[in-house]
């Protein structure tokens, strides 16, 4: 099996060391596998979409603006 090296912040490493019984390599493998499955699903959906990249970016901007407005109101920052 190929080997990869993973860098984590010192604070995270300290927290990991508190749970030595956890197989952190298996946790990382599972997380990577899950992310790959998500990306495959995303690719599958995107390959069937008629939405252009420009359209998607425009929709994203509108959503961000709407969310900013909504959460600003909730925070009382009108």
pLDDT digits (tens, 9 = 90+) for 8-66: 999 999 999 999 999 999 999 999 999 999 999 999 988 888 888 899 899 999 999 99
Q: What is the pLDDT of residue 73?
A: 85
The answer to whether position 4 is within a domain reads no
The answer to whether position 62 is within a domain reads yes
Question: CA–CA separation, 70 vs 78, rounded Å?
Answer: 10
Q: What is the pLDDT of residue 21?
A: 97
Question: What is the domain range of residue 59?
Answer: 10-74
The answer to whether position 2 is within a domain reads no
The answer to whether position 41 is within a domain reads yes
Tokens found for residue 76? 């009382």
The answer to whether position 59 is within a domain reads yes
- Say how many CA atoms lie within 13 Å of 61 toward its Cβ: 6
The answer to whether position 53 is within a domain reads yes
The answer to whether position 20 is within a domain reads yes
User: How long a stretch of residues is the chain?
Assistant: 78
Contact 2, 8 (CB under 8 A): no
The answer to whether position 5 is within a domain reads no
Tokens 């927290």 identify what position?
A: 15
Q: How far does CA 5 lie from the centroid of its chain?
A: 20
* Total structural domains within the chain: 1
């Amino acid at each position: 099996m190929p080997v990869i090296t993973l860098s984590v912040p010192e604070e995270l490493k300290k927290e990991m060391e508190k749970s030595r019984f956890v197989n952190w390599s298996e946790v990382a493998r599972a997380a990577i596998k899950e992310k790959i499955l998500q990306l495959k699903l995303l690719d599958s959906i995107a390959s069937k979409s008629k939405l252009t990249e420009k359209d998607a970016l425009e929709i994203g901007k509108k959503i961000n603006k709407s969310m900013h407005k909504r959460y600003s109101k909730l925070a009382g920052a009108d």
